[in-house]
């Protein structure tokens, strides 16, 4: 008679001892292999992470008041008091609507997306990004100029949603409560009021494509993006609770507003271009729906952006404050870098004003401050790590203007004797 042997196998996956590295015995006849242990550990870690996110974004999450939101914005964004006030109230109401819900209520609160109007470098993107950071929700940025109507060469509207899903590490529940900022929204206005037989694939067509996701729909998102992988299974994302913040410079909108309210742009000012920045900002504070429609946005699209906030152009004083006051101010960052090399960095007030003037001349607003300082600081940051003789660096107006050397000469024996 042939003798039978009982082969020890993993009770969960059925693999024998020969096919795995380790087989651990439990109660009589019960075994588990190292591969199943690793799989269980992965499941447990994911479950803990998911429960932690649910706890942080669920009903028990503290809802910040508008004043608390604005206080946090003040730490990172200089000026723009009215815009910050509008945004603080808007995001508070938006997340109060999500957390407390409409279940059982006769009155259903609709979502209120936001439109930010302001010149380049005024802080539109920074405001949206800072809000997402304060609220601890996923955040994604899209550019309206890269999007085209479905069926044409370009980026799909769904690709913007894909970025949000990726920012949430593919956690669909977190992504569905996130914030999306769509920049350059003014560039998709209709180019003409005349009806054309050709399709406006980057203008009105894109506005039509954005309508559904702005209002709230179950969107099918290709996980790999684009239309090149028709076989891929789609990710479904409900956009009902996603807060959309759209931003644009809307150059020329102040002239439309001026004509509506009867402020003639003639006389002392022959053209809208002759208005100073403060006058343009004052006009943009009075923007209404018909002005945006006249600019080129379709009424249905404007209706999905009921909250409008205008940002004022930044003054020289604002730019100086931006360099030194916020938590992550550029000057503070440089000071920290230099401190790592035991070097003290100081900026004279006149030097900061010289940088601000350069940014104003370039018309780049706050966005240009970093590029100006990066270019200026390059040589000194190249020298500092290898120079033990430098303990303090003071940046002056003359250095910014190129009238004084930025890097002090090396203290060689010859230099000391001549001194």
What are the binding residues for ATP? 119-126
* Annotated binding-site positions for Zn(2+): 10, 13, 33, 36
CB atoms within 10 A of CB 253: 24
How would you classify the pairing of strands 392-395 and 344-347?
parallel
Q: How far apart are the first and last CA of the chain?
A: 107
Q: Report the interhelical angle of 316-324 vs 330-340 (nearest 10°).
A: 30
Q: Which helix (H) or strand (E) segment is 147 a member of?
A: none
The residue among 382, 376, 383, 378 whose CA lies nearest residue 401 is 376
Q: Token pair for residue 132?
A: 């997402």
Residue 250: name the closest of 204, 200, 291 by CA: 291
Mark the binding-site residues, compressed into ranges: 10, 13, 33, 36, 119-126
Q: What tokens appear for 225 in the block?
A: 């993006």
Q: Which of 152, 149, 207, 217 is nearest to 182 (CA)?
A: 207
Rounded distance, CA 402 to CA 406, Å?
Answer: 8
Judge contact between 26 and 17, C-beta under 8 A: no
Exposure class string for 73-110: b at 16+ Cβ within 10 A, else e: beebbbbbeebbbbbbbbbbebbebbeeeeeeeeeeee
Question: Counting beta carbons within 10 angstroms of the beta carbon of residue 356, is it exposed (0 to 12), middle (13 to 18) or buried (19 or more)?
Answer: buried
């Amino acid at each position: 008679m042939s003798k039978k042997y009982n082969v020890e196998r993993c009770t969960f996956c059925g693999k024998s001892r020969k096919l795995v590295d380790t087989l651990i015995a439990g109660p009589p006849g019960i075994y588990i292999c190292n591969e199943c242990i690793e799989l269980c550990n992965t499941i447990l870690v994911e479950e803990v992470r998911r429960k932690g996110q649910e706890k942080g974004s669920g009903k028990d999450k503290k809802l910040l008041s508008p004043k608390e939101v604005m206080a946090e914005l003040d730490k990172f964004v200089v000026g723009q008091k009215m815009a910050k006030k509008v945004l603080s109230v808007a995001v508070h109401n938006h997340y109060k609507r999500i957390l407390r819900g409409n279940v059982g209520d006769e009155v259903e609160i609709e979502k209120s997306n936001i439109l930010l109007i302001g010149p380049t470098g005024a802080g539109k993107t920074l405001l949206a990004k800072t809000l997402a950071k304060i609220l601890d929700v996923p955040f994604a940025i899209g550019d309206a100029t890269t999007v085209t109507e479905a069926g044409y060469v370009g980026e799909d509207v769904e690709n913007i949603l894909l970025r949000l899903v990726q920012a949430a590490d593919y956690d669909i529940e977190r992504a569905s409560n996130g914030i999306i900022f769509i920049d350059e929204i003014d560039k998709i206005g209709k180019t003409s009021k005349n009806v054309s037989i050709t399709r406006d694939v980057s203008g009105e067509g894109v506005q039509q494509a954005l309508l559904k996701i702005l209002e709230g729909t179950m969107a099918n998102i290709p996980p790999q993006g684009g239309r090149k992988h028709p076989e891929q299974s789609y990710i479904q994302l409900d956009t009902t609770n996603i807060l959309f913040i759209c931003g644009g410079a809307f150059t020329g909108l102040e002239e439309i507003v001026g004509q509506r309210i009867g402020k003639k742009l003639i006389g002392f000012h022959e053209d809208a271009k002759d208005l100073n920045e403060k006058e343009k900002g004052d006009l943009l504070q009075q923007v209404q729906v018909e002005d945006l429609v006249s600019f080129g946005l379709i009424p249905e699209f404007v209706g999905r952006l009921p909250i409008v906030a205008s940002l004022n152009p930044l003054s020289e004083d604002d730019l100086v404050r931006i360099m030194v006051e916020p938590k992550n101010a550029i000057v503070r960052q440089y000071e920290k870098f230099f401190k790592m090399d035991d070097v003290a960095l100081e900026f004279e007030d006149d030097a900061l004003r010289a940088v601000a003037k350069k940014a104003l001349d370039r018309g780049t607003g706050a966005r240009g401050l970093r590029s100006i300082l990066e270019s200026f600081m390059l040589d000194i940051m190249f020298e500092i790590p290898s120079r033990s003789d430098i303990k303090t660096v003071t940046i002056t107006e003359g250095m910014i203007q190129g009238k004084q050397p930025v890097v002090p000469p090396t203290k060689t024996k010859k230099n000391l004797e001549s001194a």
